[in-house]
Chain A
C-alpha cells in the first residue's frame, strides 16, 4: 500500500487567503527584462560609436527628427491602455475602435520609419556597410522596428478576432499582457529617440 500511495500534506484550514499574481503578466515582465538587456547592449554600442565613424555621412547631416512617428507611437500606448479598460467594462464598440486606432497608429509609425530608411538608403546612400553610424543606426532602429512589427502582428490578429466577435471580457487579462509588450516597445522608442535623434545628432 505505502509503495504506491503518496502521503501529501494537506490542511483544511488555511492561514490566510492565498492569492498569487497572474502568470501571463509575470511572464511578460520577465520577457521585458530580458529584452531590455538586449536593447541596452545595442544602445551601448550606439553611444560608444557616436562620432567614431571614419567616413561620412554623419547623423547631423542626414537625420531628421521623426516627430509624426513618435507622436503616433506614443499615442498608441494610450489607446491600447483604454482599449483594455473598455474590454474590462464590456464596452465592445469603444474597445474595437480603440484597438483599431492602436493598429493604425502603429502602422503609421512603421511607414515613417520605412520612408526614413528609403530616403537614407536610396537618396543618401547610407547602408549598414557605409560606416559605424550606418552599422549602429540600422541595427538599433531596425531591432526596435522588428519589435513593432511583432507587436502589430499580434494586435492585428487580436483585432481580427475581435471583429469576428471571438474576444470577450474574459480575454481582458490576455490583452493586458499584450498591452504591456506594446508599452515596452513604446518605452524603448523613447530611449532610441533620445539616443539616436537627440544625443547622437
Chain B
C-alpha cells in the first residue's frame, strides 16, 4: 500500500462565457495550444477527406458503366491525381498528426508540446499547402484555362512532369503544395519526437509510454528520413522546371528512373507513416474494450521499431516492372516479405489481447475488429504483390489499387473512425451516438467490402489503373458497377458519421472524465481538458496509471 498513488482532486471547471465570434476566430488563429492545433489539423483534414471522397465518387460514376462520358479524359486525369495527392498529403498525414498533437502531451503527462510556436507554424504551412493545391484549379493555366488541376498522377513520374509535357502551372502547384506540406510535417514530427523525449512526466519511462506514443515516435523518425527525400526531389523538379536543370530531363542524359527511386524512397515509408498511428489507435482501443492489459508490450514496441527500419529498405518493390535485374529484384522481394514478420507479431499480439478478454462491443471496438480482419487481408495481397513475377503481371492494374486501398481505407480509415468514437468524448465532453455509430459502421464496412473486395477481380482480369473508360464485353462491367454501389454505401456511411459528430456535439450524452473506464493519462483530465492539461504534474508507476489509481490493492507494477 505504500506504493499506492495519492489522489489529487483538483477543480478544473472551465469558464464558459459567450464571446463575440471575431474574438473566437482570433483566438483560434493565434493559438499555440497543442489541443486546439490538433483539432484544427483534424478539421482541415476532414474537409479534405470530403473533397477527396467526392473526387473518388466522381471517378466511380464515370467507371460504373462502359463507354461513359460523364467526365472527359482530361478531367479524369485531374481527378485521380487530386484524389491521391489530397488523401495522402492533406487528409492522411494531417489527421494522424492532429490526433498525435492532441493526444501525445496528454498521454505522457505534459502540459504542452516542446515547441508550441513551431507547432502552430507547422500547422499553418501545411494548411496553406492544401489551399495551394486546390488554388491550381484557378491558377493552373492562368485566366485562360479555368479548371486546370495537376494531372500527372500522385507519383508524378518523369518525364511527364517536364515543362514540355506539362505546360502551364498546375504541376508547379502540385510541387509547391507538397513541398510546403513536407516542411509542415517535418516540423510537427520534430515537435512530437522532442516532446516525447523531453517532456514526459515523472515516472513515465520509455518502457511505460502508451503504445500510441511509441508508434508516433517511430512515425516521426520515418518522417525525418522519408519525407525529406521527397522534399529534396521536389526541389530538383522545381529547378528542372524553372531554371532549366536536367535532373529528370532524359533529353540531356537525366534519368526518369532516378525520380522513381526518389519518389518511392519516400512513397513506401509513407505507407507506414500513415499506418503506424493507426496501429497506435488499435493498441489503445483493443485493451480497453477487452478489459485486459495489452499482450506483449515489449514485443509490440520492438515490432514497431523493426517495421520502421525495414520499411526504409523496400521501396523498389514499386518498380519491379522497370527492369532492375535479378539481384535488385531478389533483394526487394526478400525485404518486402521480411516486413510481414513484425507486422504479423502485431496481429498476433492484438489477437492475444482479445483472447480471454471480456469484450465490449462498443463502436470503437467494432471498428478495431474490422481493422484486424481487413488489415490482415491487405497484408496478404501485399505478400502476393511482393513476389516479382506476380507483380509483373499485375503492376498498375486494379489489383494494386484494391490492395493499397485495403490498407488505406480498410486499415487506416477504419482505425481512424474507431479513434474518433473513442476520443470524441475526451475532446467535446459528450459521447457520440452509439445507434448512429452502428449505422455508420455497418454501412461503411459493407460498402468497403463491396468496393474493394470486388475491385481485385477486374485487376486480375487485366483492367489497368487510370483508364477513364473501357469497352463493353470484357467482363468488367458488372464488377465495376458493384464497385460503384459500394462507393455509394461508403458515402452514406461517412455522411452519417459527419452528422453524428455535429449532432452529438449539442445533444450527446455527457461523458465525464473517463467514459470507457480506460487507463492512460488523458482520461485523468476533465473533458475537454483545460489549457495546460494538468493542474499538477502527474506521477506514474506503471503503464496503466489510472488502473493503479482505481485499484490501490492491485498495482500494475507488480506484474510489469
* Chain A residues close to B by CB (< 8 Å): 2-12, 14-15, 18, 20-23, 26-27, 30-31, 33-42, 45, 48-49, 52-54, 128-129, 131-132, 134-136, 139, 143
CB of B228 closer than 8 Å to a CB of A? yes
Of chain B, the residue at the smallest CB distance from A3 is B512
Q: How far is the CA of A110 from the CA of B539 in the complex (A)?
A: 51
Q: How far is A34 from B194 in the complex, measured between Cα atoms in Å?
A: 14
Known: A8-B538, A31-B190. A135 touches B239 (CB 8 A): yes
Could you say which residues of chain B place their CB within 8 Å of the CB of A8? Answer: 7-8, 10, 524-525, 534-536, 538
A180: min CB distance to chain B, Å: 14
In contact, A54 and B252 (Cβ under 8 angstroms)? yes
B510 interface residue (CB < 8 Å to A): yes
0/1 string, B129-163, CB within 8 A of A gives 1: 00000000000000000000000000000000000
For chain B, residues 219 to 252, give those with C-beta under 8 angstroms from any C-beta of chain A. Answer: 220-221, 223-229, 231-233, 235-236, 239, 243-247, 252
Q: Does B9 contact A (CB under 8 A)?
A: yes
Q: What residues on A are CB-neighbors of B226 within 8 Å?
A: 37
**Further contacts, 16 of them, CB under 8 A, given A5-B12, A8-B535, A135-B246:** A2-B512, A6-B12, A7-B7, A7-B8, A9-B521, A11-B202, A26-B114, A26-B194, A27-B191, A34-B186, A34-B223, A37-B228, A41-B233, A49-B253, A54-B252, A135-B239
Chain B window 517-548, contacts with chain A (Cβ cutoff 8 Å), 1 for yes, 0 for no: 00001001110000000111111110001101
- Shortest Cβ gap from B331 to chain A (Å): 17
B200 located at the interface, meaning its Cβ lies under 8 Å from any Cβ of chain A in the complex: yes
Interchain CB contact (< 8 A) of A23 among B12, B13, B114, B239: B114
Complex Cα distance A2/B199, Å?
28
Residues of A within 8 A of B227 (CB): 34
Give complex CA distance A38, B183 in Å: 12
Q: Select which of B190, B229, B254 is within 8 A of A40 by beta carbon.
A: B229
* Chain B residues, CB < 8 A from A20: 197-200
**Considering the chains assembled together, what is the distance between the CA atoms of A14 and B541 in angstroms?**
9
Contact in complex: B258, A48 (CB < 8 Å): yes
Contact of A45 among B115, B203, B258 (CB under 8 A): B258
Q: Are A30 and B199 in contact (CB under 8 A)?
A: no
| B contact residues around A21 at 8 Å (CB) | 197-198
Determine the chain B residues whose CB is within 8 A of the CB of A49 once the complex forms: 253-255
Q: Give the residues in chain A near B14, CB-CB below 8 Å.
A: 4
In the complex, the answer to whether A128 meets B231 with C-beta atoms within 8 Å is: no
Q: Are A10 and B253 in contact (CB under 8 A)?
A: no
Contact A10 B539 (CB under 8 A): yes
Instruction: Kindly list chain B residues whose C-beta atoms are within 8 Å of the C-beta of A10.
Output: 5-8, 536-539
Interface pair B231/A3, CB less than 8 Å apart: no
A102 to B198, CA, bound (A): 30
Q: Known contacts A20-B200, A38-B229, A129-B243; is A4 also within 8 Å of B12 by CB?
A: yes
Partner of B190, one of A34, A48, A128, A132: A34
